[in-house]
Amino acid sequence: MNVLNMEFDTPYNSAPFSNIKITDFLPAFKTALAESKKKIIAIVSNPEPPNFKNTVEALEFSSLRLDRISSLFFNLNAAETNDAIQKIAQEVSPLLTAHSNDVALNKSLFERLKIVYNRLENLNLTTEQKTLLEKKYKGFVRNGANLNPNDKKRLRKIDKKLSVSKLTFGEHLLAETNKFRLEINKTSHLEGLPENLIAAAKLLGEKEEKKGWVFTLDYPSYVPFMTYAKNRTLRKKMAIAFEKKGFQKDSLDNQELLLKIAKLRHIRANLLGYKTHADYVLEERMAKSPETVLGFLEDLKAKALSVAQSEYKELSAFAKKLDGVETLQKWDSAYYSEKLKKKRFDIDDELLKPFFKLENVLEGAFAIAKKLFQIQFIKTTEVDTYNEEVMVYKVKDEKGKLVALFYADFFPRSGKRAGAWMTSFKPQYQLEGQQHRPHVSIVCNFTKPTKKSPSLLTFNEVTTLFHEFGHALHGMLANTNYPSLSGTNVAWDFVELPSQLMENWCYEKEALELFARHYESSEVIPMQWIENIKAVGRFQQGMQTLRQLSFGLLDMSWHGQDPSSIKDIKAHEKNVFKSLQLFPDIKENCMSTAFAHIFQGGYSSGYYSYKWAEVLEADAFAYFKKSQVFDTEIASKLKTHILSQGGIENPEVLYKRFRGKKASNKALLERAGLQ
């Protein structure tokens, strides 16, 4: 009996993780693929004339089971993977790509869709239905429906190669992260490191049967090590190891894979009639074109460069005065920035961390969501999870009605990829009069509790939690009819608006008082520290902005031109970074070979969207600040016009409906001190 082939007889139709065997997935995928194919055949062979319900809606709901199994499987592959799961991923990804192509290149299906699309103006459709029809039609065209038979075959081959190559790229990065260990056996080499980090390193050492302390490239180990370790040689060793992932000419090298992915994307775009992959991608984004993106990035660069250079000079002078450092290197940046921040603002992460116990911060996020959107989070043990560390909450509205299930997975494991992300196990939609509520998850890599202390977050980790929680709210508060338009299924340069907007409450007195309490004494964080935290929000914003812009420009350099002439990845990077470079280059390191956002994830030609959305969120939060940060009327507008609407309408229209005007970059520039 394969539980994946049946309706889940579980609380809230939640995933029965404990009853799913890894060996269930491949046969379940094959069964669901066959089921989806039957539904496509039924649409095509329907003797009734094509209409919105029997063609567009039928297509939208033709792969519900397949999509559910895919979401469960690939979320496990990201958060709880192993060799067996990775092997299945390599086998099933081409099958899914082939099925996707079968649908997108089905001539008869496209003809039915085209008949409905050509009658669009004469149909009495809602705004959401019009959007669904337009997206379905464009999706077919953008995925080869108008190609000749030979070119359709070429497209299939390209997509199959891309699906496998992107998977392998990510597997290499995970393997690189897991294999590196910095083992320290001298107590003197621990100087400067926080006690909880030392304790965690000792625990890992004991677990791995090592005599000393073990540090890794996982963020909760790497970031504080680079921030506090006094030993410059060891910081250098860690930094080089972190930055050379996929760039070591070994079995885990990503250079050939990277070039292959970039070239295949370009060939695919050309095949579909686009100049570059960026032209193809951006047609469906707010920015619309590579020229707009580059203009946006260059405009911010012009405003940030001189500020960043001034900040770098200041940091260099500080490091030289403090420790005689002649040339400030990348492995010095976090260390001396933290010391300068402490000197200037009389505050540092180690002072703040006791006030940011993980459980308290999470409860604070819940309390803020309740104040803004009238929802509450109730912890439950009746919902199954894929790991004992994962917590689940029922989310209910003010009437006690279920809004969503919320999963939270906070600590690093060998089977979990680095970073932080929001995802879902089940989308929100309505079908046959029944409302299906979403199952949303946030996955992070925070410091684990030790024998001596609970999980205490750095302020950066606090904002990370709020960031992912903002994405989660976007998913949980969705109220649309169709899964492909629900929640975070919006333009990539709009999707970061709710997440980045939520970070703002981390800096506000009224919000911090809800959760920033000392984990031992329950003392509220001192008010002067709150003011300092706000000031810290502007600290080194020139350098931070330049860093984000460099990533956006690197992305566009791979996808906004023909990459076939690029032979030397490192040389290409240096050329892109030369006008933004502050720190000396490190010959052993390469950014592109570990740039998972664009070569494994969905951010190709879209990394600029973080800054694009930052303009939107700064403008949006300025709206709250004009009144008060817990203005329920403004929050209601945010929920009604943005969070609940998913992708049912043009994001510019949704934003203007919320804000009453188009977004301006004024608030962002003022906040960052770049005005």
The segment(s) of the chain belonging to CATH 1.10.1370.40 are 354-520
pLDDT of residue 610: 92
pLDDT of residue 444: 97
Pairing mode, if any, of strands 391-397 and 402-409? Answer: antiparallel
pLDDT of residue 534: 83
CATH (residue range 354-520) = 1.10.1370.40
pLDDT in tens, 405-416: 999 999 999 899
Contact 469, 434 (CB under 8 A): no
pLDDT of residue 451: 83
pLDDT of residue 452: 84
Mean per-residue pLDDT for 313-328?
98
Alpha-carbon distance 257 to 558, whole Å?
13
Where residue 574 falls among pLDDT bands split at 50, 70, 90?
very high
Mean per-residue pLDDT for 129-145?
96
Place of tokens 């309408």: 649
pLDDT of residue 25: 97
Contact 644, 126 (CB under 8 A): no
Alpha-carbon distance 313 to 307, whole Å?
10
Alpha-carbon distance 101 to 183, whole Å?
48
User: What DSSP character marks residue 441?
Assistant: E
The percent of residues in the chain predicted with pLDDT above 70, rounded, is 100
Least confident of 55-64, 330-339, 388-397, 449-458: 449-458
pLDDT of residue 538: 86
Where residue 450 falls among pLDDT bands split at 50, 70, 90?
confident
More confident residue, 163 or 534: 163
pLDDT in tens, 195-249: 989 999 999 999 999 999 999 999 989 999 999 999 999 999 999 999 999 999 9
Where residue 139 falls among pLDDT bands split at 50, 70, 90?
very high
Roughly what angle, to the nearest 10 degrees, separates helices 219-228 and 330-345? 70
More confident residue, 438 or 450: 438
Mean of all residue pLDDT scores within the chain: 95
More confident residue, 453 or 439: 439
pLDDT of residue 350: 85
Element (H, E) at 182: strand 182-184
pLDDT of residue 123: 94
The segment(s) of the chain belonging to CATH 1.20.1050.40 are 3-146
pLDDT of residue 533: 84
Catalytic residue list contains 191: no
pLDDT in tens, 46-90: 999 999 999 999 999 999 999 999 999 999 999 999 999 999 999
pLDDT in tens, 147-175: 999 999 999 999 999 999 999 999 999 99
How far lies 552's CA from each of 186, 278, 498, 501, 608, in Å? 41, 12, 20, 20, 5
CATH (residue range 3-146) = 1.20.1050.40
Task: Identify the CA nearest to 446 among candidates 427, 431, 424, 466.
Answer: 466
Is residue 675 over pLDDT 90?
Answer: no
Where residue 351 falls among pLDDT bands split at 50, 70, 90?
confident
Q: What is the DSSP string of 288-340?
A: -SHHHHHHHHHHHHHHHHHHHHHHHHHHHHHHHHHH--SS--HHHHHHHHHHH
Given the residues 468, 496, 503, 614, the one annotated as active site: 468
Sequence-distant (≥ 6) Cβ neighbours of residue 360 within 8 angstroms: 515, 516, 517, 519
Sequence-distant (≥ 6) Cβ neighbours of residue 82 within 8 angstroms: 22, 415
pLDDT in tens, 5-19: 999 999 999 999 999
